Amino acid sequence: MSATDRARHLDVVVVGAGFGGLYALHRLRGLGLSVQVYEAGSGVGGTWYWNRYPGARCDVESLEYSYSFSPELEQEWAWSERYAPQPEILGYINHVADRFDLRRDIQFDTRVTAAAFDETAGRWRVTTDRGDDVSARFCVMATGCLSAVTTPDIEGLSSFRGNWYHTGQWPHGGVDFSGQRVGVVGTGSSGIQSIPVIARQASHLVVFQRTPNFSLPARNEPLTPDTQAEVKAGYRALRDKARSSFSAIAVAAPTELALEVDPAERRRRYEAAWARGGLMSMTTTFRDLIVDKAANDTAAEFIRSKIREIVVDPDVAQALTPTDHPFATKRPCLDTGYFETFNRDNVTLVDLRQTPITEIVPAGIRTTERVHELDTIVFATGFDAMTGPLLRIDIRGRGDRPLSDKWSAGPRTYLGIATAGFPNLFILTGPGSPSVLSNMVMAIEQHVDWIADCLSYLGANGLGTIEATVEAEDAWVDHVNQLASATLFPRANSWYMGANVPGKPRVFLPYVGGFPQYRSTCDDVAADGYRGFGLTADPAAEPA
Ligand code: FAD
Ligand code: NAP
């Protein structure tokens, strides 16, 4: 077989070269499989390639938000801060690509436009916007949960005289805001990270806020050599602890209920969590914060009191105070000086609940109150999360059925990794898996390892296809929904619920039963001969 034929008849196509696609390439290539990765961007990194906005950094601590599969890699890489900034994370991912010689199987600047399962051949036909047309036995969608940006459809945007940017597609050369009047639309994690940094550079910043958000202090700081040495000496134990923790982040599980302790003690605990900073400090203070509204109210009210303490103007503080959703039912943001930024003379908050945007005009953004004149607009308006990147590809399974048709009322998966009617298609950190509710790098590694074991099993047993059964999928979807409905999550209009995209079905997307429970279910399914999957023989396999 010529090199070209080999390229056209692959074992695996992987779509995406972020944390997920790179590890999939490394593991699957290690099984002796031919793997081709297609990546729409010009480089590796995924999230960290695209999201170059000022202030971008991780919100899971770097020593944990990193691959665990290679102890050597863990030891040789040094993180500079508790939460590494975007350029450093991108540098790390590039280092990984070089260290494991990954680039030679990645085709950049190439967007996969369609993937169709050929039932006769038992293979996927994958096509790209660059004219590639390849056949592969397996397809791994490493397209990311937060890679399909959403820019609001506001009338008049094309008439705007200045420049506009989306945080998730930031220009590589950066943007100099000096002397500019800047408008930021959106106050989720991306807005909350970028607003303090832009405010320090711009002549004037107008923040257009639709929904106030809960944000916690990051308390970012340099990582001292001593701290790093200490973590590195015990890295295996730390990773094991993370794997057995609810969010795949190494923290002790809370045992107490919020209303079990007296108000003074509760406040003391919240104060300590606020002082420590970080996502987990506050969310793991008590074990019932996400299931009991009265418990949640205590944490929410504490954060509201902090906003009132920090923000000098009481009207601005009021406008910044979240009241419409329980704490942590949207992903809490981590900030460095976010609320303090509204005490600056050059920052104005526009409360879109009072004065909605009506249109964009050449000079800026018009609300029902007035035109805010701007030189630059930054849309920190988020993503069509979890399903968006998949549904932007024309994926067709058995009977030429489009995935968009199958998922028209919301995604249906088995274990968040496979979907019935689409044999040999694997979704990394897909809907119905812990995914965005966990340390994503660990969730990615768990999925890739499971897929690698699965492909080894198929090979060792002369099997050609693996496909989720409808029964297993229905039971899994019910289970995922039941878990979610026992929490407060459905009470928020969040991207977890698909509520940020007009017309998107309202379904709670991730699995909320926790990483350890999920991992052990996946392991049991595999140990049980891939229970809930249909397996067929590979006609090309040698008879045993
Ligand atoms: P991605 O990194 O999104 O990579 C997917 C890649 O697929 C992209 O490069 C995209 O171009 C490519 N792609 C998509 N569709 C196609 C196509 N059709 N053809 C070709 N290529 C395609 N998670 C955490 O756990 N902790 C954090 O601190 C954290 N911080 C975050 C900060 C930001 C700003 C954002 C947006 C997300 C953050 N996340 C965080 C979530 C983050 O997305 C994951 O942690 C992780 O980077 C996802 O890796 P991935 O490889 O699955 O997906
Ligand atoms: P997001 O959380 O979805 O926030 C989008 C913001 O834009 C919201 O405030 C939303 O308001 C607003 N918005 C959307 N459409 C609008 C419109 N038409 N008019 C006015 N406002 C509008 O998106 P994100 O901030 O990019 O974050 C997405 C996720 O990425 C995060 O939850 C997190 O998981 C990850 N992330 C992490 C970090 C980090 O700290 N490491 C940083 C960035 C992103 P509503 O709330 O009213 O919809």
Nearest CA to ligand 2 atom 45: 211
* % of residues, the chain, pLDDT over 90: 97
0.85 surpassed by pTM? yes
Q: What is the pLDDT of residues 145-156, one digit of tens each?
A: 999 999 999 999
pLDDT of 541 = 72
**Cβ–ligand 2 contact at 381 (below 6 Å):** yes
**Cβ–ligand 2 contact at 189 (below 6 Å):** yes
> Which ligand 2 atom is the nearest neighbour of the CA of 167?
26
Q: What is the pLDDT of residues 36-91, one digit of tens each?
A: 999 999 999 999 999 999 999 999 999 999 999 999 999 999 999 999 999 999 99
Full DSSP string of 481-530: HHHHHTSSGGGS--GGGTTTSTT------S--S-HHHHHHHHHHHHHTTS
Mutation choice for ligand 2 from 146, 381, 386, 440, CB with most ligand atoms inside 8 A: 381
> Which ligand 1 atom is the nearest neighbour of the CA of 44?
9
Query: 1-10, 271-280, 321-330: which range is least confident on average?
Result: 1-10
Residue 391, pLDDT above cutoff 60? yes
Nearest CA to ligand 2 atom 40: 59
Band of residue 380 on the pLDDT scale cut at 50, 70, 90: very high
Residue 1, pLDDT above cutoff 80? no
**Cβ–ligand 2 contact at 329 (below 6 Å):** no
| Rounded (5°) CA angle 519-521-525 | 120
Helix (H, G, I), strand (E, B) or coil at 307: helix
**Cβ–ligand 1 contact at 389 (below 6 Å):** yes
State phi, psi for 163 to the nearest 5 degrees: -95, 150
Mutation choice for ligand 2 from 64, 189, 215, 429, CB with most ligand atoms inside 8 A: 189
| Cα dihedral 266/292/305/247 (nearest 10) | 80
Query: Using CA atoms, how far apart are residues 379 and 165, in angstroms rounded to an integer?
Result: 6
Q: What is the pLDDT of residues 254-263, one digit of tens each?
A: 999 999 999 9
Average pLDDT value for residue range 216-240: 97
Compute, in angstroms, the gap from residue 252 CA to the centroid of ligand 1. Answer: 27
**Cβ–ligand 2 contact at 102 (below 6 Å):** no
Compute, in angstroms, the gap from residue 131 CA to the centroid of ligand 2. Answer: 34
Residue whose pair of structure tokens reads 């794997």 in the numeric block: 243
Who's near 519: CB < 8 A, 6+ residues apart?
243, 446
Query: Using CA atoms, how far apart are residues 184 and 205, in angstroms rounded to an integer?
Result: 7
Residue 386, pLDDT above cutoff 50? yes
| Rounded (5°) CA angle 301-306-309 | 125
Who's near 251: CB < 8 A, 6+ residues apart?
245, 280, 284
> Which ligand 1 atom is the nearest neighbour of the CA of 147?
3
Band of residue 542 on the pLDDT scale cut at 50, 70, 90: low
Are 430 and 239 contacting, i.e. CB atoms less than 8 angstroms apart?
no
Mutation choice for ligand 2 from 86, 210, 355, CB with most ligand atoms inside 8 A: 210
**Cβ–ligand 2 contact at 61 (below 6 Å):** no
Are 73 and 67 contacting, i.e. CB atoms less than 8 angstroms apart?
yes
Residue 5, pLDDT above cutoff 60? no
pLDDT of 3 = 43
pLDDT of 466 = 98
Residue whose pair of structure tokens reads 């665990």 in the numeric block: 68
Query: Using CA atoms, how far apart are residues 80 and 224, in angstroms rounded to an integer?
Result: 8
Q: What is the pLDDT of residues 81-116, one digit of tens each?
A: 999 999 999 999 999 999 999 999 999 999 999 999
Nearest CA to ligand 2 atom 17: 152
**Cβ–ligand 2 contact at 513 (below 6 Å):** no
The kind and range of the H/E element at 410 are none
pLDDT of 540 = 77
pLDDT of 6 = 45
Compute, in angstroms, the gap from residue 355 CA to the centroid of ligand 1. Answer: 34
**Cβ–ligand 1 contact at 37 (below 6 Å):** no
Residue 206, pLDDT above cutoff 70? yes
Query: Using CA atoms, how far apart are residues 323 and 140, in angstroms rounded to an integer?
Result: 40
Neighbours of 276 (CB within 10 A): 13
Query: Using CA atoms, how far apart are residues 443 and 431, in angstroms rounded to an integer?
Result: 12
Average pLDDT value for residue range 358-380: 98
